[in-house]
Structure 1
Amino acid sequence: MTCVSVIIPTHNRADVLGRAVASVLAQSLPDLELIVVDDGSTDRTAEVMAGFDDPRLTGMRQENKGVSSARNLGIAASRGRYIALLDSDDYWLPEKLERQVRFMDESGFEICQTDEIWIRDGVRVNPRFRHAKPAGWFLEKSLELCLISPSCVMFSRRLWDELGPFDERLPACEDYSLWLRVGARHPVGLVPEALTVKTGGHADQLSRRIIGLDLYRVYAVVDLLRTMDLTAEQRAMAVASLRERVRLYAQGCIKYGKDEEALRVRELAAPFMG
């Protein structure tokens, strides 16, 4: 079995995809496979992929179905003991996978992440204190803010089989939904080294394209309450988070004259708020 399967979903990012792929193939850990899933690109993505000649690299293509579908497809085709995700606009430092595999093997964690460097519009910026990556059990903090970065994370196939896949119904916050399920079942390890470079500021980022991200966060918490067998403490935390998220979302809807949408979301959440 391959040690690590790396999954890169991509859609119309030919200008940065090569950098991401090269950063994986340059890892100090040689025992890996890289699966790039082209989610219906219409740019030069195929040409960029053709420029690489490495037996560890596999390209897949599907019609445009979104990042969740692309990640799920790639993971389903993979065979690694561990799975690592990389967004096509981010990239890794050379020892990223080696450090994580060593950490996972020695610690027994089923999931861990690294620290990261943030680049916005080509300039390095410092993350706010609230974005500092915690370690261990932190479901309560995760309910407030997504604290796991896809490009930083590595998890075992056992964890994926237990809690995957990504929810393909969500056009955004699909990773947040999975990390909430993970947080209810597993502590998250941290390799406290900035081994991932996360770029931002470009117009095609989901966080900039998708309006109403709060709605998908509501869906994620509802799904947690609906599908997971939570402890009493975990359920109380999730209900409190849902109540506040619904309040804020409905408040915004009413402000802009969308009373029916406010009512719809309140009714959606009502069975879980007790």
Structure 2
Amino acid sequence: MAVINNAVKVSVIIPTYNRAERICRAVDSVLGQSFDNFECLVVDDGSTDDTAQRLADYTDPRLKVLWQENRGVSAARNFGIANSGGSFIALLDSDDQWVEHKLAKQLSFMEEGGFEISQTDEIWIRKGKRVNQCKKHEKPEGMFFDRSLEMCMVSPSCVIFSRRFWDELGPFDEDMAACEDYDLWLRAGLKYPVGLLRERLTVKHGGRPDQLSNSVGCLDLYRMYAIVKLLNEGTLPAEARSMALAELQRKAAFYIGGCRKRGRDGQAARIERLVRDIVSGNPVSPAEIIKS
């Protein structure tokens, strides 16, 4: 574990893979922050494009570039955080960006409210055009385990959390090809209230095929995996356990129905059997859920 350098307030972690044409926009938005007591760690997850060459052009000493063989976003974030020294950790995806006062305003908000984790509101850009968010994507605040079960309610590029938070609840699960953030926020949902700074200080760019949400098969399989992990820990209060089981069954029913429509009766039967075992209290490994 890295020794915390008290001279560094925030460690900004940016994982990236083959996004040379976008990574500089993300980095520039960090280096241009009005708050300047930070380090920015870009973790190049084995890119094969000219990411390394573009990052080599920077001379700002606050920027550090780390490289690892391609292991996925969870491993990249974990690697960056393990090599960081800030008392707070801010995440930023390599295709997103921050507005100039994001760090300054959010850190002040967290310190005034005593939050260990917080997020900001965000601007959505899809295929180059600003779009409005649906009602269901409105960010909640406080304790919202119930809503976190349904879908991911914390945006990585919007979030800052304390080193204490990370030491207790990290790391990201490196066995998850997607929804690794859903898994972390779900585990956090019963322990820490999430502060919400209601200002649009993050710009999220989407609508491209290289995004995990578009390139990974069924995201609900990974969400079910995360719920089973939580159930297996055996520490959920009775009400939370009931909510988790109900959401697991709901997601499974949706997934099973989709499998049967596509003629994947064997997969439908397999998931149906696993969920039945879980509800009955029989032990099931989370890995069985996402087994191909």
Q: Which moved more, 1:262-271 or 1:56-65?
A: 262-271
- Taking the TM superposition and a 5 Å limit, the aligned residue runs for 1:199-210 are 199-210=205-216
**For each residue in 1:23-69, what CA deviation from the matched residue of structure 2 results, as whole angstroms up to 9, or x when unmatched?**
00111111100100000101110111011111111101111110000
The CA deviation at 1:260 is 2.0
The CA deviation at 1:231 is 1.1
The CA deviation at 1:228 is 5.8
Task: Say whether 1:252 aligns with 2:264.
Answer: no
Instruction: Please give the secondary structure, in 2, of the residue aligned with 1:246.
Output: helix
Task: Say whether 1:120 aligns with 2:126.
Answer: yes
The CA deviation at 1:144 is 1.1
The CA deviation at 1:268 is 3.1
**For each residue in 1:153-189, what CA deviation from the matched residue of structure 2 results, as whole angstroms up to 9, or x when unmatched?**
0001111111111011010111111110011211110
Q: Is the 8 A contact 1:242 1:273 kept in 2?
A: no
Q: Is the 8 A contact 1:36 1:58 kept in 2?
A: yes
Partner Cα separation in structure 1 for residue 225 and residue 147 of structure 2: 17
Partner Cα separation in structure 2 for residue 228 and residue 64 of structure 1: 34
Instruction: Please give the secondary structure, in 2, of the residue aligned with 1:185.
Output: coil
Tell me the equivalent position of 1:109: 115
Partner Cα separation in structure 1 for residue 279 and residue 159 of structure 2: 31
Residue type of the alignment partner of 2:191: R
Q: Is the 8 A contact 1:214 1:249 kept in 2?
A: yes
Instruction: Give the fraction of aligned pairs with identical amino acids, expressed as a percent.
Output: 58
Tell me the equivalent position of 2:135: 129
The CA deviation at 1:252 is 1.2
Q: Is the 8 A contact 1:9 1:37 kept in 2?
A: yes
Tell me the equivalent position of 1:242: 248
Partner Cα separation in structure 2 for residue 53 and residue 117 of structure 1: 29
Partner Cα separation in structure 1 for residue 59 and residue 235 of structure 2: 46
Task: Say whether 1:13 aligns with 2:13.
Answer: no
Partner Cα separation in structure 2 for residue 27 and residue 99 of structure 1: 11
Match of 2:238 among 210, 220, 232: 232
Question: Structure 1 residues 121 and 158, CA, compared in 2 at 3 Å: closer, same or farther?
Answer: same
Q: TM-score scaled to structure 2, two decimals?
A: 0.91
Instruction: Please give the secondary structure, in 1, of the residue aligned with 2:236.
Output: coil
Task: Say whether 1:217 aligns with 2:215.
Answer: no
Question: Structure 1 residues 271 and 164, CA, compared in 2 at 3 Å: closer, same or farther?
Answer: farther
Match of 2:106 among 78, 84, 100: 100
- Taking the TM superposition and a 5 Å limit, the aligned residue runs for 1:1-274 are 1=6, 2-227=8-233, 229-274=235-280
Partner Cα separation in structure 1 for residue 212 and residue 86 of structure 2: 28
Q: Is the 8 A contact 1:69 1:168 kept in 2?
A: yes
Residue type of the alignment partner of 1:69: A
Partner Cα separation in structure 1 for residue 135 and residue 265 of structure 2: 36
Partner Cα separation in structure 2 for residue 243 and residue 193 of structure 1: 36
Partner Cα separation in structure 1 for residue 229 and residue 91 of structure 2: 23
Q: TM-score scaled to structure 1, two decimals?
A: 0.97
Partner Cα separation in structure 2 for residue 148 and residue 267 of structure 1: 31
Q: Is the 8 A contact 1:181 1:228 kept in 2?
A: no
Alignment gaps of 5+ in structure 1: none
RMSD: 1.1
**For each residue in 1:179-230, what CA deviation from the matched residue of structure 2 results, as whole angstroms up to 9, or x when unmatched?**
1001121111001000000001112011111111121111111112123611
How many residues in Structure 1 have an aligned counterpart in Structure 2? 274
